[in-house]
Structure 1
Amino acid sequence: MPVAIITGASKGLGRALGAALAARGWDLVVDARSAGPLEEAARELRRGGARVVALPGDVADAAHRTELVAAARELGGLDLLVNNASVLGAEPLVRLEEHALDGLRAALEVNAVAPLGLVQEALPLLRASSLYGTPAPSPYIGDNSHQTGTEAHKSTGGAVLNISSDAAAEAYETWGGYGAAKAALDQLSAVLAVEEPGLRVWWVDPGDMRTDLYAAAVPTDDGAGRPLPGTVVPALLRLLDAGAASGRYAAPGLLDGAR
């Protein structure tokens, strides 16, 4: 069975994607900072028979990242690495003139440094994956004007899915610290895609979602009009199923192209 690591999997998009992969027969290594919610999510994921290793911890901790990759190795390897765990750096969000520098450092550590560290740990397993063994299709999938893919290439490895944000590419008041951290993740993803042509590397803007992260960012907005994270999962599965070319994608565009 294919194996995935999903960080930040106790709730929101990470949990929803984990449920979708478990339903398809994937084995999972999942993490979150809070042990209780993570184990609750893991119990749900195991109901269909998937092997699920739940490891509470902080992705900013190098020892924890090593533990995650070791668990995937014990399950048989690694085919998909999902860097989903994220922090804002300031809760609620504030203008740059008020942004604590320690908060910005934390955002960069969790949103950019930790994903790179996890990629570095996981690269030998991802390179050895046989998830994809055919040439990638055209980098354009449907009508997805926010996507910039690399040229098609022959891939015999696994995939890295980095969850980004439109704040990485657009200037929104008070989103400067978080956006800068996600922009760093985007650039790391783009360079990784060039340096590792045997892998699929996707950095995806999931669009607006009703999540605890957004509620903490903007507590004055109840988020009632925002879609639930599960509505984004079909877009991510579309990338996976298509073996899409490495690149930046916007989930709404992928969903539009799928209709």
Structure 2
Amino acid sequence: MKKALITGASRGLGLALAKALADDGWSLLLTARGEEDLFSAAFDLNAEAIAGDVTDPAHVARLAEAAPELDLLVNNASDLGPVPLPPLAGLPLAALRRLLETNVIAPLALVQATLPALRKRKGAVLGISSDAAVEAYEGWGGYGATKAALDQLSHVLAAEERDLAVWWVDPGEMNTRMLADAVGPGEAASAPSPDAVASALTRLVTIRPQSGRFTREALAIATGARE
């Protein structure tokens, strides 16, 4: 049975992807900071769960120890930063450091910790990116900079670990709590559900195309969701 480790798995896209992979027969190791929601999800999906903060090196070590063989690492956990989203002129540097710890350093730490397990199974790494990584949206400078950094780390990882598949995916706007925090619940409610993206990501993992960056549109084409 194939095994996946998913961060930020208690809600939003992480939870939707966990459900989609479970339906596809995957064994799951789930992590998030919110214990109650995480353990509820794990119970429903018959999955293993380890609650904690991905910026904590001890937590990263526990996750790697719990997955000595791994087919898929999903770096989904993200921090949005202070809201309302401030312009760069008003972005607290301490907040930017926290964003970098969560959105860049923690994913790399998890890659480093799980590489032996991933190499053993010639597995895959999936990083959840954003169009804020490549577009200039007012207020999104801090978050976008971290996602741009994650994109580049993924790109280099793909060049260095050629036996692995490495994908960094911009899923577009989704009706999640993070989007609601950023733009308000009314606008977020009009965005697509994470379930459709999760279904496409599951097909991506199954088809296993070459490493690269995928937008929602490219993901749909690559996985056959659009003729």
- Shorter-chain-normalised TM-score: which range? over 0.9
Q: Bigger shift: 193-202 or 220-229?
A: 220-229
Q: Which residue of 2 aligns with 1:82?
A: 74
- Secondary structure in 1 aligned to 2:73? strand
Code of the aligned partner of 2:15:
R
- Secondary structure in 2 aligned to 1:56? coil
Shift of 1:253: 2.5
Question: Deviations 1:56-79 (Å, cap 9, x if unpaired)?
Answer: 100000110111111112xxx100
Q: Which residue of 1 aligns with 2:40?
A: 40
Q: Which runs of 5+ in 1 are unaligned?
A: 47-51, 130-156
Q: Which residue of 2 aligns with 1:56?
A: 51
Report the number of matched residues.
224
Q: Are 2:226 and 1:255 aligned?
A: no
Counterpart-to-counterpart distance in 2, 1:189 and 1:40: 31
Q: Which residue of 2 aligns with 1:122?
A: 114
- Secondary structure in 1 aligned to 2:28? strand
| More helix, by proportion | 2
Counterpart-to-counterpart distance in 1, 2:170 and 2:135: 11
1:237 aligned residue (183, 199, 202): 202
Code of the aligned partner of 2:171:
P
Preserved CA contact (<8 Å) 1:235 1:252: no
Divergent runs of 4+, >3 A: none
Code of the aligned partner of 1:177:
G
Shift of 1:98: 1.0
- Identity over aligned pairs, percent: 55
Superposition map of 1:1-259 within 5 A: 1-46=1-46, 52-73=47-68, 77-129=69-121, 157-219=122-184, 221-256=186-221, 258=224, 259=226
- Secondary structure in 2 aligned to 1:189? helix
Counterpart-to-counterpart distance in 2, 1:188 and 1:237: 22
Shift of 1:191: 0.4
Preserved CA contact (<8 Å) 1:236 1:251: no
TM-score with structure 2 setting the length: 0.95
Counterpart-to-counterpart distance in 2, 1:26 and 1:235: 16
Counterpart-to-counterpart distance in 2, 1:220 and 1:255: 26
Counterpart-to-counterpart distance in 1, 2:200 and 2:165: 15
Counterpart-to-counterpart distance in 1, 2:144 and 2:48: 31
Counterpart-to-counterpart distance in 2, 1:229 and 1:92: 23
Q: Which runs of 5+ in 2 are unaligned?
A: none
Counterpart-to-counterpart distance in 1, 2:183 and 2:97: 20
- Secondary structure in 2 aligned to 1:207? coil
Code of the aligned partner of 1:113:
I
Question: Deviations 1:116-140 (Å, cap 9, x if unpaired)?
Answer: 00000000000000xxxxxxxxxxx
- Secondary structure in 1 aligned to 2:172? coil
Larger Rg: 1
